[in-house]
Structure 1
Amino acid sequence: MNEFQVEFVFAIAYWLFAVCFIAPPDAFRNGGLTVQNLFDKFLGSEQMDFVGYHLRRTTITVVCHSALPLGYHLVGGVVSENLNLFNLCYSGLIVQAYFAVAVCALFLGCCVASFWSWNNWMYHPLAKVLGSFNGPWRATASSVNIEFRRIDKFCSRTSTGGSRIYVTDSWVIKTSAYRVDLAHQQNVHLRILQAEEHPMSIETQTAVQFLWIEVQSINVAVKPFTLRVNSTEYGDIKDKLQSPIRNARSVVIHQTLSDQFLKAFKEQVTINQPYFLPSDAPEPERCVGCMAQVSNIKLMKMCRDPTDGDCQQCFCRPMWCLDCMGKWFASRQEQSQPETWMGSSAPCPTCRAKFCLLDVCVIPNVHDTANGTNQS
């Protein structure tokens, strides 16, 4: 391999590394070749100090990425000594111009980092956004940190170029290489912009759909930003959000296998024979599964003759809602054979009496005293 080929291969390898370092794929993240892993001790704990962690992370990321052009010049001088990269007086005009641009890039990166961290991070973009809400920005940062420590927050399992999505009780947050976008849940409008479909996912080797959701805040200091969410996570993020997600373009959202079954489960149960509570029966209590809805399901042997079949009569009082019963039924099935779920059976979650889908009866006109609505 001659000198030119060595230089060419080095250039390709270095800039491929630079691209992967800026937008790290799974292999780089697993190998620890990310800013977060390399400067782990300096950054601290994201779980304990979310705002402080990302103030430091975005700042040091700017410096590291701005140093990549100069790094190419320095490493290239070691690989190809005949280029005289360390002796600019004997280098060509192109090499001298590249060195000047590389030094300027690093200098600008350091200036940005110094400006952001000046006066205890007062001028960092994240601090300015936090300061646009009521009160000092550090008080708002403390509120964000407290909510981020809770285990019930939504965290996107998919990431693009190192970006992550979090939804806490009050905040919608998106972290990327150089910035952190966040908006208060009570002040946002959300809408689906488009769906992005791929015939095969690298992680699952199956078809995958991503939804682009725009987050627009009524706070003028918060710029609109977009969330790229896997359609399989759409139900989870929707449950955590306080505002509805408008689907004005009628984007068809691909559901998970469990979501599809739950939909079919509900459709079948609604056409089953209903169960009417006796006149002297007390009002059903909250579902013991979710404690959110009133129990509106009663298991009654309806599929076959009472003396025949595998199904058994359940004598439990209504204790479950339709959603929780559907999820329980799906969890007791053979996960590798979803085509058999509709015709299979499951044990009662309370007494273990076996029942099938035809035995699930809805209790009509169950009054929800907390919400003031009727569930059927």
Structure 2
Amino acid sequence: MGFLNAVGNVGLALSVAQVATASFYIYLEWYAHGKWTGHPGMQEMKKIAENISSSSFSTASTSSDELEFLRSHPSPEGVASSIDKEFRRMEKFVAFAGRGLTSSWSGRRIVVTPSWILFSHRTTFLPICQLLGHLGAVVVGTRCINNQIASLGEDEEQERADPMLGSGVVMATIRIADMDSGACMLSFDLPASELENFRLYLCCPLVYAQGVSLEPSIIQRFLEAFSAVVQENEPIEIPPSMELERCIGCLSNQTSVAIRRSCAGECGSCRCRPMWCEMCVGRWFASRLAQSHVPTSEWVASRVPCPTCRSLFCVRDVISLKRAQY
């Protein structure tokens, strides 16, 4: 009996020693005297900093103040500063367990800002810069959760429907890929109803793989109604020589609308220069109302703040731009 106790004590001591050794190794490799230079997340930011300073990105097609900041601070600290600055802003897409992500995603979080796609889970932190390279977001599949066990595929985990999502929720599997190499950088699931909010903060197109389709969502139907009302509004004539920039929301379409008070309601007086396309203003409009839990039946008659000056506006204040004919 004494021999068995001795063996047990030795085994316990060895286990404690292994844990202590592993903890000490992690401390040395990750913390690096409080600088975290060995942490995998810091290593990812170091790679991004190296890509920023490399010549292959000196002619990046996307130009923005944030990209200029990163080019002038090509270091992990500069990348971290950029991420921290945008993460603190209100304008971002966030999904986590209980809000957009299913229960098996416990502890995981997806955050999309104008310049970054951020994934975190426990000790894992993966930042993807939207301003560098040629990214693509692809919806590769859909599935329905009906309070039954369903497989996550790649993670080989099992999940049950989240009560906050309800039953019969259509989930879309999204992959963020490097379009040059074809490598998948990140894969995750979102409710199909969140796709338009997610798309709003992407710098790259969100496309559907061949054979993948979704029924029109509430937001998509609202965008159709939004566009119909905007087309009824009296357009603003602009000089033929006036150059219109790219929409700051999608960076692909040309600016096509301005926000000017045209209704008889209690809207504000927005004086911002035209910076958005019609669809991005519509998506912004829908995302603000969805976050405020406004009934969908009241969306067309509602008001939301301007994305830049915060003046309230309604659908009647969204005016199309029309070039004057001389």
Tell me how far apart the structure 1 counterparts of residues 217 and 284 of structure 2 sit (CA, whole Å).
14
Does the 8 Å CA contact 1:265/1:326 hold for their aligned counterparts?
A: no
1:244 CA displacement: 0.7
Comparing both structures, which one devotes a greater share of its residues to helix?
Answer: 1
Does the 8 Å CA contact 2:93/2:198 hold for their aligned counterparts?
A: yes
Q: Does 1:245 align with 2:190?
A: no
Tell me how far apart the structure 2 counterparts of residues 283 and 108 of structure 1 sit (CA, whole Å).
69
Deviations 1:246-278 (A, max 9, x none): 312342335543x153155369x49xxx7696x
Residue segments in structure 1 that go unaligned for 5+ positions in a row: 1-83, 300-312, 350-359, 370-376
Paired AA for residue 225 in structure 2: F
Q: 1:208 to 1:100 in 2, by over 3 A?
A: farther
Tell me how far apart the structure 2 counterparts of residues 99 and 183 of structure 1 sit (CA, whole Å).
43
Tell me how far apart the structure 2 counterparts of residues 326 and 240 of structure 1 sit (CA, whole Å).
10
Paired AA for residue 294 in structure 1: V
Comparing both structures, which one devotes a greater share of its residues to strand?
Answer: 2
Tell me how far apart the structure 1 counterparts of residues 41 and 300 of structure 2 sit (CA, whole Å).
53
Does the 8 Å CA contact 2:171/2:192 hold for their aligned counterparts?
A: yes
Partner residue, 1:125: 40
Partner residue, 1:210: 171
Paired AA for residue 182 in structure 1: P
Paired AA for residue 129 in structure 1: E
Q: 1:158 aligns with which of 100, 109, 125?
A: 100
Tell me how far apart the structure 1 counterparts of residues 322 and 118 of structure 2 sit (CA, whole Å).
37
Paired AA for residue 210 in structure 1: M
Tell me how far apart the structure 2 counterparts of residues 326 and 140 of structure 1 sit (CA, whole Å).
27
Paired AA for residue 129 in structure 2: H
1:100 CA displacement: 4.6
Tell me how far apart the structure 2 counterparts of residues 155 and 108 of structure 1 sit (CA, whole Å).
34
Judge which range, 225-234 or 209-218, deviates more: 209-218
- Could you state the TM-score of these two structures normalised by the residue count of structure 2? 0.54
Tell me how far apart the structure 2 counterparts of residues 235 and 227 of structure 1 sit (CA, whole Å).
16
Does the 8 Å CA contact 1:115/1:124 hold for their aligned counterparts?
A: yes
Q: 1:283 aligns with which of 214, 218, 237?
A: 237
Tell me how far apart the structure 1 counterparts of residues 221 and 18 of structure 2 sit (CA, whole Å).
58
Q: Does 1:265 align with 2:207?
A: no
Does the 8 Å CA contact 2:237/2:323 hold for their aligned counterparts?
A: no
Q: 1:180 aligns with which of 125, 142, 160?
A: 125
Tell me how far apart the structure 2 counterparts of residues 151 and 91 of structure 1 sit (CA, whole Å).
59
1:114 CA displacement: 2.9
1:203 CA displacement: 1.1
Tell me how far apart the structure 2 counterparts of residues 326 and 242 of structure 1 sit (CA, whole Å).
15
Deviations 1:281-327 (A, max 9, x none): 962899xxx99642699x9xxxxxxxxxxxxx99xxxx9x6865996
Tell me how far apart the structure 1 counterparts of residues 142 and 8 of structure 2 sit (CA, whole Å).
44
Q: 1:105 to 1:216 in 2, by over 3 A?
A: farther
Paired AA for residue 205 in structure 2: P
Does the 8 Å CA contact 1:125/1:179 hold for their aligned counterparts?
A: yes
Does the 8 Å CA contact 1:284/1:295 hold for their aligned counterparts?
A: no
Q: How does 1:54-73 map to 2 (within 5 A)?
A: none
Q: 1:179 to 1:262 in 2, by over 3 A?
A: same
Specify the structure having the higher radius of gyration (Cα).
1
Deviations 1:324-375 (A, max 9, x none): 59969xx7xxx77x7xx59x995999xxxxxxxxxx9x99x95379xxxxxx
1:237 CA displacement: 1.3
Partner residue, 1:147: 86
1:141 CA displacement: 1.4
1:230 CA displacement: 2.4
1:172 CA displacement: 0.8
Count of aligned pairs: 237
The RMSD of aligned alpha carbons is 5.1
Tell me how far apart the structure 2 counterparts of residues 255 and 324 of structure 1 sit (CA, whole Å).
15
Q: 1:325 to 1:126 in 2, by over 3 A?
A: closer
Q: Does 1:231 align with 2:195?
A: no
- The higher-RCO structure (CA 8 Å, 6+ apart) is 2
Tell me how far apart the structure 2 counterparts of residues 240 and 325 of structure 1 sit (CA, whole Å).
10
Tell me how far apart the structure 2 counterparts of residues 113 and 348 of structure 1 sit (CA, whole Å).
52
Provide the secondary structure at the position in 2 that maps to 1:228.
Answer: strand
Q: 1:245 to 1:324 in 2, by over 3 A?
A: closer
Does the 8 Å CA contact 1:232/1:254 hold for their aligned counterparts?
A: no
Partner residue, 1:32: none
